[in-house]
Amino acid sequence: MDKTESNLEVTEETTELPALTAADRCDICGAQAFIRVVLATGDLVFCGHHGTANKDKLKPIAISWQDETSKLS
């Protein structure tokens, strides 16, 4: 492989999380969840609205940010 090597070492390039289902409910308002945030302390799930509302706060500390808001359409 003579691909240019990246300086970034990616240990977990793909986190395999189960897709969110209708049974997953936003931790704040109880609407169907489309965003899962994996934190060191556990998972949180949010609807599209609250996921976006908390993104600035949680994204920097999230281990994984699973955004399925594209399913909303």
Q: How far is the CB of 23 from Zn ion (least distance, A)?
A: 15
CB-nearer residue toward Zn ion: 14 or 42:
42
- Which residue, 26 or 62, is less far from Zn ion as judged by CB? 26
Whether 29 and 54 have beta carbons less than 8 Å apart is answered as no
* Residue number, 13 or 56, with CB nearest to Zn ion: 56
Residue 59 in tokens: 């994204």
HSE-CB at 17 with a 13 A cutoff on CA atoms is 20
Sites of contact with Zn ion (CB under 5 A): 26, 28-29, 31, 47, 50
Residue 17 near residue 2, CB atoms below 8 Å: no
* Residue 31 beta carbon to Zn ion: minimum distance, rounded to whole angstroms: 5
